[in-house]
Chains A and B, each alone.
Chain A
C-alpha cells in the first residue's frame, strides 16, 4: 500500500489508463497548460502530448457533444467539466444524447465516455459552484454515476469509469482533492461499478452514505462509540447502479438506518434508498428510516451560512443517537 492524495490518485489512474489504451484522451477547460485547478492533470500533456490532452474553449455543449461523438466512433474520451455545476450548459448532450443513443439505436453503438465533474461545497464558492447534482443523473436511464469517498476510491473508480463501455459520470468532491489515503499496490486495481464497501461494522445502527459524507459518517461513528453506540458505515461508491444487496444486508443486521449525503435532501438519492428500504426491508426495521442532506435552498456565500446548510458529523451522530435511543 502507498499513501497519496485523492488528486494524485486520480492522476495515477489517468496515467495508467492512457498508457494502457491509446484511444483514451482527455479534454476540458484549463486542464492541459494549467494542469487542472487542483493539479489533478499535472504532467499529462508532457507525457501524452497536447493532442491527447486538450484545452477547449468555454463551450460545454461542444465539449460534451464531441465527447459523445468520439465515444461513438472508437475512442474513449475523458471529458472534464471543471465544475459539476456547468453540466447544466450541456444537459442535452448528457441526457438526450449520451444517455440514450445506445438504447435508441438498438444497441448498435456504445458510448464509453467518462465525464469528470468536481462538485460539492467548498470555500464560499457560492451557489453556482457548490452543487452536488448526482440525483439528476441517477434519474436518467442510460448513465452510470460513481462518487469516490477517498484516494482508494478515486483511483479504482476512475479506472473503472474509463474502462466502462457506458457513459459514466465521476463526481469528485473539491474538498477531497488534498486528502491523503492508502492505495493498493496492484497495478490493475479497479473497483467494480455497483459494489459498495463496508467501512466499519457495528450492530446498533447503519449509516448509508457516499462521497465526502463517508468521512463525516466515520467521524460520527467515533463520536457515537463514546456513547456506547456501535455504527456500521456503508460507502456506496456507485449511486447508479446501486448496491441494493449491501443496503438490505446492513438494514437486516442493524434494524436502524440513517442515510446521509451532502446533496440536497429533497429529491436526493437518499430518497431512492429510503424507499427501497421501506419496501424491501420492512420487517427488518425497528425504527423509521432517517435521511440527512443539504437544505432546500441555494448554497450561500458567507462561511457561517454555508456551513449551516449541510450535514456534518455532529448532525449524523445526533440522528443516529436519537434513532438508537428510540427518541424518534
Chain B
C-alpha cells in the first residue's frame, strides 16, 4: 500500500516548508528512518527521515517549492509494488481540493471535539481548515497550524527570481505579503542619560535587553500593539522577536514570555539566542509565534531604522545607535544622550493615537528607567 510523504510540521509554529533538496531519487529503495530530504523553513534546515520503507515514487514535489505542513510531496510504495502516484504540481492542487472535500464533504465537517472547541475559542473559521488526520479529520494540530492567509498549495505559484536560495525565498515571499499592508509610523527621540548610567553601573544588561524588557511590560497594558492579525485579538503570551543579523542573513529569534523575565534573565536569553543564531543551530521552537518585535541597528552604527512589521504581528519597534545631541532642558542648552525610536504599525488593527501612546511610554521608560524596574 502506498504511503504518502507529507511536509512535516517541525516546530510549534511552523506552517509551511520549502523543499531544499531530495536526498534520494525516484525509484530508490529507502528504509524507514533513512534521511529522505532536506526542508528549510524560516532559515532553518531540517533533515527529514522516510516515514516508512519502500520505493520512492516517480513524481516528487520540486526542489525549491514551498508546501503547507501536511501537504503531500511524494509517495513510497511497498517494495515490489509499482511505484506509486505522487502529485505533480497540478495534481497537488487537486490534492488540496480533495483534502478539503474529505474534511468538509457532504455538508459535514469532520473534526475532533477538542479541535472544534479550540477553533471556537480562537474564533477560527473551521470551514476553511483542512484536516490532516485520518480520513480528513481536523485535529488539534491542524488548528494550531492554521493561518488566516492560507499558504498556496500549488508549488511555484509565486515566481521567484531564479537566483534566490530557499532562505531568501522565504523572506521574498513574506515581504511581498507585507507590501500589501497599510503600515504607518510614529517616531520619537528618547533621552537615555539615566538609562546609560544604569547600564554602565549594572553591566548585566544591554540596550536591546532593556528595550525587550520595557516593551514586554508595556504591552501588557497596551494590548492593541500586540494584536494577532489572524484573529484580531491580542496574543496571550508576550514573546518578543529580536531581529538578528547572521552570516546566513536575517533571523528573528523570540524571547518567550518576556514579561516574566528580569532584566538579567532577558539579557541572558538574548545572548543565548544570538549564539544559536550565529552558529546556525537555532531550533524551530525559538523562532515564530512572537507578539511584537524589535529591530536594533545601533550595533551597525546607524541612527534610525523604520522597520516593517512581521505578520501576523501588527507592530514593531526600531531603535538606532545612542548619539549625543544638543538638547533643550528647561531653558538651558545641554548635551544629552539620545535614542531615535520608530514604531511601525499595521493600521488595519492599530490606530495612530494608541501607537503614539505606546511609543511615548517607551520613551518615558528610557528617560526614567527606575519607574519600570
A residues with CB within 8 A of B: 255, 282-287, 326-328
On whether the beta carbons of A326 and B137 are closer than 8 Å, the reply is yes
Is A286 a contact of B132 with CB atoms below 8 Å?
no
Is the beta-carbon distance between A283 and B114 smaller than 8 angstroms? yes
CA gap between A327 and B1 in the complex, in Å: 15
List A contacts of B134 (CB < 8 A): 326-328
Q: How many A-B residue pairs have CB under 8 A?
A: 30
On whether A286 and B116 interact (CB within 8 A), knowing A326-B133, A326-B134, A327-B134, the answer reads no
Q: Is the CB–CB distance between B132 and A284 below 8 Å?
A: no
Contact with A along B132-158 (1 / 0, CB 8 A): 111001011100000000000000000
Instruction: Give the contacting residue for B140; candidates A255, A282, A327, A328; CB below 8 A.
Output: A255
| Chain B residues whose C-beta falls within 8 Å of the C-beta of A255 in the assembled complex | 112, 114, 140
Secondary structure call for the A interface: loop
Instruction: Tell which of B113, B132, B137, B139 has the most Cβ of chain A within 10 Å.
Output: B113
| A326 CB contacts on chain B under 8 angstroms | 132-134, 137, 139, 141
- B132 nearest in chain A by CB position: A326
Distance of B193 from chain A, by nearest CB (Å) = 49
B117 CB within 8 Å of chain A: yes
Q: In the complex, what's the smallest C-beta–C-beta distance from A254 to chain B, in angstroms?
A: 10
Assuming the contacts A255-B140, A326-B139, asked whether A285 and B133 have C-beta atoms less than 8 A apart, the reply is: no
For A327, list chain B residues within 8 Å (CB): 134
Name the residue of chain A whose CB is nearest to the CB of B139.
A286
B115 touches A (CB below 8 Å): yes
Shortest Cβ distance from B133 into A: residue: A326
User: How far, in angstroms, from A65 to B133 measured CA to CA in the complex?
Assistant: 55
Contacts of A287 in B (CB 8 A): 112, 133, 139
Interface string of B7-26 (1 = CB under 8 A from A): 00000000000000000000
Closest CB of chain B to A324's CB: distance in Å? 10
Give the residue among A286, A287, A328 with the most B Cβ atoms within 10 A: A286
* 3 smallest beta-carbon distances between A and B, as pairs: A286-B114, A326-B133, A286-B112
- Taking a contact as CB atoms under 8 Å apart, the answer to whether B117 and A283 are in contact is yes
Cα A326 to Cα B51 in complex, Å, equals 14
Q: List A contacts of B116 (CB < 8 A).
A: 283
8 new A-B contacts, CB < 8 A, other than A283-B113, A326-B137, are: A283-B114, A283-B117, A284-B114, A285-B113, A285-B114, A326-B134, A326-B139, A328-B134
The complex places the Cα of A327 from the Cα of B3 at a distance, in Å, of 12
Interface centre among B112, B115, B132 (most CB of A within 10 A): B112
Considering the complex, give the chain B residue whose CB is closest to the CB of A255. B114
Bitwise, B117-142 to A at CB < 8 A (1) or not (0) is 10000000000000011100101110
Q: List 8 A-B contacts (CB under 8 A).
A: A255-B112, A255-B114, A283-B117, A286-B113, A286-B140, A326-B137, A326-B139, A328-B134
- Residues of A within 8 Å of B113, CB to CB, are 282-286
In the complex, which residue of chain A has the Cβ closest to the Cβ of B51?
Answer: A325
User: What is the bound-complex CA distance between A287 and B141, given in angstroms?
Assistant: 12
Q: How far is the CA of A327 from the CA of B112 in the complex (A)?
A: 14
A287 to B133, CA, bound (A): 9
List A contacts of B141 (CB < 8 A): 326
- B53 to chain A minimum Cβ distance, whole angstroms, is 16
Measured CA separation A287–B137 after assembly (Å): 9
Name B112's closest neighbour in chain A (CB-CB): A286
Residues on B with C-beta less than 8 A from A283 are 113-114, 116-117
A282 to B115, CA, bound (A): 11
Q: Min CB distance, B322 to chain A, in Å?
A: 45
A282 to B137, CA, bound (A): 16
The distance in angstroms between the C-alpha atoms of A231 and B133, with both chains bound, is 20
Q: Which residues of B contact A282 (CB under 8 A)?
A: 113
B69: min CB distance to chain A, Å = 13
Docked CA distance A2–B52 (Å) = 47
A327–B113 Cα distance when bound, in Å, is 17
Give Cα A13–Cα B302 distance, bound, in whole angstroms.
Answer: 78
Quick one: CB contact mask for B92-119 with A, threshold 8 Å, 1 for yes?
A: 0000000000000000000011111100
Determine how close the nearest CB of chain B comes to the CB of A327; give it in whole angstroms: 6
Contacts of A328 in B (CB 8 A): 134
State the CA gap A328–B139 with chains docked (Å).
Answer: 12
Neighbouring A residues of B140 by C-beta, 8 Å: 255, 286
Bound Cα distance A326, B140 (Å):
11
Which partner residue on chain A sits nearest B141 by CB separation?
A: A326
Kindly provide the distance from the CB of B175 to the nearest chain A CB, expressed in whole angstroms: 35
CA distance A283 to B121 in the complex (A): 12
In the assembled complex, the Cα of A328 lies from the Cα of B115 at a distance in Å of 16
In whole angstroms, what is the CA distance A328 to B116 when docked? 18
Chain B residue at smallest Cβ distance from A327: B134
A327 to B132, CA, bound (A): 10
A236 to chain B, nearest CB (A): 23
CB of B346, distance to nearest CB on chain A (Å): 33
* Closest residue on chain B to residue A284 by CB atoms: B114
| C-alpha spacing A255/B115, complex, angstroms | 10
Separation in Å of the A203 CB from the closest CB of chain B? 12
Please, which residues of chain B bring their CB within 8 A of the CB of A285? 112-114
Q: CA A160 – CA B43 in complex, angstroms? A: 60
How distant is A246 from chain B, measured CB to nearest CB, in Å? Answer: 19
Q: Which residues of B contact A284 (CB under 8 A)?
A: 113-114
Across-interface contacts of B115 in A (CB, < 8 A): 286
- With a cutoff of 8 Å between Cβ atoms, the chain A residues found around residue B133 in the complex are 287, 326
Looking at the assembled complex, report how far the CB atom of A230 sits from the nearest CB atom of chain B, in whole angstroms: 15
Chain A residues within an 8 Å CB radius of B114:
255, 283-286
CA distance A282 to B133 in the complex (A): 18
Q: Name the distance in Å between B309's Cβ and chain A's nearest Cβ.
A: 33
- A74–B75 Cα distance when bound, in Å, is 73
**Which of chain B's residues have a CB closer than 8 A to the CB of A286?**
112-115, 139-140
Minimum CB–CB distance from B93 to chain A (whole Å) comes to: 24
| Residues of chain A with a CB closer than 8 A to B139's CB | 286-287, 326
Question: In the bound complex, what is the Cα–Cα distance between A286 and B111 (angstroms)?
Answer: 8
- Chain A: minimal CB distance from B2 (Å): 15
Expressed in whole angstroms, the Cα–Cα distance for A285 and B117 within the complex equals 10
Quote the shortest CB–CB distance from A150 to chain B (angstroms).
Answer: 32
Q: How far is the CB of B72 from chain A (nearest CB, A)?
A: 15
Q: Complex Cα distance A285/B139, Å? A: 9
**CA of A286 to CA of B137, assembled, Å:** 10
Indicate with 1 or 0, residue by residue over B303-329, a CB within 8 angstroms of chain A CB atoms.
000000000000000000000000000
How far apart are the CA atoms of A286 and B134 in the complex, in Å?
12
